[in-house]
Amino acid sequence: MATRKHATASADPGPTIFVLFGATGDLAKRMVIPAFYRLALEGLLPRQWRLVGNGRGDVAHEDFRKHVHDVLTEFGPKPEQPAWDKFAQRLYFAGGGFSSEDPGSLLDVLAKGKAALGGSPQFVHYFAVPPVAFTELTRALGQHKLAAGARVVYEKPFGTSPKAFRELDRAVHSVLAEEQVYRIDHFLGKEATQDLHVLRFANGLFAGMWDRKHVESVQIDVPERLGITDRSVFYDATGAVLDMLVTHLFQVAAEVAMEPPASLHADDLQAAREKVIRSFRPLDPAEVVLGQFSGYKDVPGVAARSKQNTYVAARLWIDNPHWRGVPFYLRTGKRLAASQQRVSLVLRKPEGPLAAQLPDSGNVLSFSLAGDGEIDLSLVAKKPGAGLALDAATAAIPLAGLRDADPLPPYVRLIHDVLIGDRSLFTRPDGLAAVWKVAGPLLDNPPRVLPYAAGSWGPAQARKLIAPGHWLLGQ
């Protein structure tokens, strides 16, 4: 991939030192390091920058560069000359861990970086570590005077329970101001997720039908074929509810349901998203189906008697005048029959002379969130011929096919937003507090975890949850 200047590149944000905690972990190698290299190829990094990896091991700079090269060879973009050489010379590693009591070698490596870049570089600290480490790392930043003026990226989940969220939020705000905090949810960085509100607010045709009068139900469906082999310890402590439902799926539901923001400024977008989350009705455990795929307990790292959920389907209600009475069906799981990421607005069938002939698959507006994204509109049309036979037809708009389109993967987009200080696509604590309130009844009194066969569409009870309707995927 040749180096090029991205069409949306902004003014140079100035010298920056990007500190990647958990630099040799699974998240860093699969998401963060490839995203950072893509930013370099796109010309979206500052003119002066360094990436400093941090971990407990004592790793030489050259060994870390080799690790990054191996990561990019496996996950891409492929490290090719001369771009790789320019990138590699800015990679450094600080070993010995990092805590309030012992900063390891990080302070020394950062001091050398500041001297090399000159002036007062912007620090961006990225926590690609398990949530249990967030509090101590945050306190250590304050203890070692690395917090002032810095931007700090927290991976999800931001807390693992209402109590853990409140404790973490207090710890974070004891060290950082809210404008320094970037709570990442990569579903908000997806091109098609952003088109959820762009399509609605920029097109009168859709703005007029985006309410309970015209929408019968909403489906947010994220099945995955993948298992949890590479992250089994993390997953067995988290499960589908915490890993996906209270993070990605709730945030996407808010994108669908939010009222028009006052502007597209970060504060207004965040406020609109958080306001509608406060209207989410707390989940009724009787309206939730939990499952665990067969063979889960045989995965290395999973407890032998684990009752962790790997599947969740839930019916969510939004108690405001715009959406009252419209069910939002949320579903996700591991080792399912397909991998998709789709948001679908099922429109009410119009009354009139053709009502009895309308096919079930028509009148659906859907968004594929996977890859570069796609908008699909399923319409009912007359089949050409002598009779009056109706059928559904789909018009598809691949977003990458728009003129001069140059889509960025979610992590690339979001890390770039951190570098330029744009918090539009990041979550706020008031919205997260509301999310935990919504999830509270489910976490306190979860239904029984039901078995399902790997490669299926999950427990059969999920079909009853959505009846008399049906899941658009897998039916």
Residues 238, 231: Cα–Cα separation, whole Å: 11
CB 399 within 8 A of CB 192: yes
- Annotated catalytic residue, options 248, 265, 416, 470: 248
CB 438 within 8 A of CB 277: yes
How far, CA to CA in Å, does 174 sit from each of 11, 139, 149, 184, 267?
A: 32, 8, 14, 20, 22
Query: Which residues, 6+ apart, have CB-to-CB distance to 305 below 8 Å?
Result: 297
Instruction: Supply the DSSP string of 52-115, one letter for each residue.
Output: EEE-SS---HHHHHHHHHHHHHHHSS---TTHHHHHHTTEEEE-S---SS--TTHHHHHHHHHH
Q: What are phi and psi of 65, to 5 degrees?
A: -60, -40
DSSP β-bridge partners for residue 5: none
- 3-class DSSP string for 402-427: CCCCCCCCHHHHHHHHHHHCCCCCCE
Instruction: Supply the DSSP string of 166-201, one letter for each residue.
Output: HHHHHHHHTTS-GGGEEE--GGGGSHHHHHHHHHHH
**CA nearest to 326, candidates 399, 236, 261, 257:** 257
197 among known catalytic residues: no
Amino acid (1-letter code) at residue 325: G
Amino acid (1-letter code) at residue 463: R
Residues 267, 273: Cα–Cα separation, whole Å: 10
DSSP β-bridge partners for residue 122: 16
List active site positions.
248
